Chain A
Amino acid sequence: MRTRREFLTLTAGAVATTALGSRQVAAAPKALTTVRESSFIKAFDDYFAKTLLPEYEKLTGIKMSYEAVSVGGMLTRLTTIAETKSGPEVAMTAINWPHLFDASLVDVTDLATEIGKKLGPWHDNVLDAVVVNKKWKALPWGNIGQLEVYRTDWFAEVGVKKFPETWEDLLSAGRLLKKKGHPFGFELGHGFGDNHGWLYPLLWSYGGREVDKDGKTVLIDSSETAKAVDFCRKFYQETMLEDVLGWTDVNNNKAYLGEQISCTNNASSILVVAKRDFPEIARVTDHGLNPQGPKGRYHIINAVSHAIMSHAPDQPATKAFVRWLYDDKQMSRWLASGDAYYAPFLAGYDNHPMWNSEPRYLPYKESLKTSRLHGWPGPAGHALAESVAKYVLVDMFAKACRGDATKDVIATAASQLKQIYKAK
């Protein structure tokens, strides 16, 4: 078996290095821990913890452990791991975290190249998220796409049989649906994903940008941004509930499954949960791509990836585990267990059987082509993380929806971004 041979070779190498070199590291590790954020897909988490890890343990004798972090808590956990230089050796990353933790992550360019050759090529747009100073600092696993989740029956009641192609058409449909008692519910509060998930694409689709590629020129103060803000205010006032301004990520799921809203922007988890717990809602739920604006159609990238922490006492052995995990034999099964919740960034999986079981998940694959990282086209470094953590973009739109003047909310965002990007 090739993977076993590869592993043995690496382990033997590690053992030899240890025997000859460092006195601190003792042979192959006795244990390895992987930390990941719990997904909404229990079967996916279980497959990793209860099938894949025991398999690797049996194969190598290394005690494999899994640490699950609750949703929204992974960044904090990663911070403590990096700061204390202890804990799990393999960690999940998302958004632009490899840029934040660059110094604490092992260069995995060799693995990325190897995997890309076998199963790729990698989708270009994911490189922004994981390649730092030309080095791969994490291996993308899959995208948690944010798409339009909607009620086909209620849309049909107002004569909309196919999900609207443009934001304006969606607004028209939303007006009719709100009148019928089926408002929309798009998060405009301080959650961690469902807000940026539609507001960055909305901004981009009107031609607005936060900052230029150089990371120094703040571009938010533009007529394109103003158009996006004006649209958002209209969209909110004419189609939504007031409460969306205070929503966090759980609220839209609850409201949708409570049949209070007819459309929201979310990952496929709503349909996954509906299929399990609310089959009658699942039957009338479908996904649509984000609508187009005057300057195109966009989606957000949230590349869930795996990184090797540099404090791992035996990096070759840790790499060997990650290599095994990203081998098609494992990756294929694990992806399939996730009900297409994670859209892989490898071209080799574009026609994977995981996409066949449920055609309603296909838009998540389709959306990869038009997905960009938060803050695009700006650089994916610390300033981006600060802008996201301070909800600059979300609050700009939220304040406009609340009734503040377009020029005022843009001016506030521009001044915040100038401070964050240290622009003049």
Chain B
Amino acid sequence: MAVGPASLAHPVAGRPFTLKGVLEREGVFSWLMLSPGVLFLLAFIAYPFFYGIFLSLEDRRVASPGVFVGLANFQTLMGDAVFWQVTRNTFVYVAATTVLKLAGGLGMALVMNQRFRGRNLARAFLLLPFIVPTALSTVAWMWILDPTFSVVNWLLVHTGVVAKGYSFLGNATLAMGSLIVVNTWRGMPFYGITLLAGLQTISPDLYEAASIDGATTTQRFRYVTLPIIKPVLIIVTMFSVIFTFGDFQLIYALTHGGPANATHVFSTWAFDIGMSAGLLGMGAAVALAILPALAALIVALTIYLRRE
């Protein structure tokens, strides 16, 4: 029997070959522990991802075999005015909601980090928008934004602010604005709670020392709080941008991309093309069109984080 030098040097060499012995080897055991996670990632992340890329290179219609077409789907998209409108919509939606969620979430975290009566209850309530299933909260928003039954319009009209209610989902600009508000409402607690966790790691001694040195509240925030929570801020922004780029339920339920494509984003448009039109290849190409922007963002943020 050929025995390698590593085995000779190993203390278990010479012992009978048992399952327990194999499992006790670090290399085997670590892979064993990792395997459920790796298998999960392979099955539910890697496989769909690579299958998506494969589909995007095919003229693949539903229930029919695909024909390899190379980059033809992407070429078609480049010449489609709606694709560029969808791209614009997606970037406006993601940029506006990210800024609002970041600012609001930071404010929320700073307030929640103060000591006041009922703080724990307030924290629990602030998480509600994030906990309630999106489809359910969207139905509530559907009623809030309905011109006929809208509580917002009712208030505005009855307090004399406006004579006639707004068409929140019928007007292209207001529809996008409304979606941004709803997404911000839903996503802000994610920022708030994560940043709060970051804030709680800051030692009170630092604030005390800064105060003794004569730092104002703004200076304490600028030179103590912000540098310490910056890594958390970047991570939470990265996650949020990824989630928002792929946001589907909210838009699909409220406007379905209307009026006249004014609120269509990559995910809703990809769904319509892939599922409603049965063009699975083209649908995959639309969905993949977000990839370069997302990849660039993730790489940039990761490099920045490492440098820090």
CA distance A104 to B65 in the complex (A): 11
Q: Mark B52-83, 1 if CB is under 8 A from A, else 0.
A: 00000000011110000000000010011110
Interface residue A154 (Cβ < 8 Å from any Cβ of B)? no
Residues of A in contact with B (beta carbons under 8 Å apart): 75-76, 79, 82-83, 100-104, 188-191, 241-248, 251, 254-255, 258, 260, 382, 385-386, 388-391, 394-395, 398-399, 402, 412, 415-416, 419
Given the complex, which residues of B lie within 8 Å of A385, measured CB to CB? 276-278
* Residue contact B258 to A248, C-beta cutoff 8 Å: yes
Q: Mark B168-184, 1 if CB is under 8 A from A, else 0.
A: 11111001000000000
Given the complex, which residues of A lie within 8 Å of B260, measured CB to CB? 245, 391, 394-395, 398-399, 402
Complex: chain B residue closest to A191, CB-CB: B256
Given the complex, which residues of A lie within 8 Å of B64, measured CB to CB? 103
- 19 further A-B pairs in the complex, CB-CB below 8 A; given A82-B62, A189-B259: A83-B63, A100-B278, A103-B63, A190-B259, A241-B170, A242-B170, A245-B260, A246-B167, A247-B169, A251-B146, A254-B149, A382-B61, A382-B279, A389-B272, A389-B276, A395-B261, A402-B259, A412-B81, A416-B80
How many cross-chain pairs have Cβ atoms below 8 Å apart between A and B?
Answer: 120
Pick from B149, B255, B275, B277: contact of A382, CB below 8 A. Answer: B277
* Residue contact A189 to B275, C-beta cutoff 8 Å: no
* Residue contact B276 to A75, C-beta cutoff 8 Å: yes
* Residue contact B148 to A260, C-beta cutoff 8 Å: yes
Pick from A76, A82, A244, A386: contact of B273, CB below 8 A. Answer: A386
Chain A min CB distance to B228 (Å): 44
Pick from A102, A390, A416: contact of B277, CB below 8 A. Answer: A390
Within 8 A of A (CB), among B254-278: 255-261, 272-273, 275-278
Question: Could you name 25 residue pairs across A and B whose Cβ atoms are closer than 8 Å?
Answer: A79-B275, A102-B63, A188-B259, A189-B169, A241-B147, A243-B148, A251-B146, A254-B146, A254-B148, A258-B148, A382-B277, A382-B278, A385-B277, A385-B278, A386-B273, A386-B279, A388-B276, A389-B277, A395-B261, A398-B260, A399-B260, A402-B172, A402-B260, A415-B81, A419-B80
CA distance A398 to B275 in the complex (A): 23
Chain B interface residue count, Cβ-Cβ cutoff 8 angstroms: 34
Complex: chain B residue closest to A101, CB-CB: B63
Chain A min CB distance to B66 (Å): 12
Chain A min CB distance to B131 (Å): 23
CA distance A188 to B256 in the complex (A): 12
Pick from B81, B170, B275, B278: contact of A243, CB below 8 A. Answer: B170
CA distance A79 to B272 in the complex (A): 12
Chain B min CB distance to A20 (Å): 31
Residues of B in contact with A (beta carbons under 8 Å apart): 61-64, 76, 79-82, 146-149, 167-172, 175, 255-261, 272-273, 275-279
9 tightest Cβ-Cβ pairs between the two chains A and B? A246-B169, A389-B276, A190-B258, A243-B170, A389-B277, A190-B256, A189-B258, A246-B170, A245-B259
Chain A min CB distance to B252 (Å): 9
* Residue contact B82 to A386, C-beta cutoff 8 Å: no
Given the complex, which residues of B lie within 8 Å of A189, measured CB to CB? 169-170, 255-256, 258-259
CA distance A190 to B255 in the complex (A): 7
Known contacts A189-B259, A258-B149: does B169 contact A243 (CB below 8 Å)?
Answer: yes
* Residue contact B63 to A246, C-beta cutoff 8 Å: no
CA distance A189 to B251 in the complex (A): 13
CA distance A389 to B278 in the complex (A): 9
Given the complex, which residues of B lie within 8 Å of A103, measured CB to CB? 63-64
* Residue contact B278 to A398, C-beta cutoff 8 Å: no
* Residue contact A398 to B148, C-beta cutoff 8 Å: no
Given the complex, which residues of B lie within 8 Å of A416, measured CB to CB? 80-82
Chain B min CB distance to A328 (Å): 32
* Residue contact B76 to A419, C-beta cutoff 8 Å: yes
Known contacts A79-B62, A100-B62: does B167 contact A242 (CB below 8 Å)?
Answer: yes
Chain A min CB distance to B149 (Å): 7
Given the complex, which residues of B lie within 8 Å of A388, measured CB to CB? 276-277
Given the complex, which residues of B lie within 8 Å of A260, measured CB to CB? 148
Given the complex, which residues of A lie within 8 Å of B148, measured CB to CB? 243, 254-255, 258, 260
Chain A min CB distance to B276 (Å): 4
CA distance A385 to B279 in the complex (A): 9
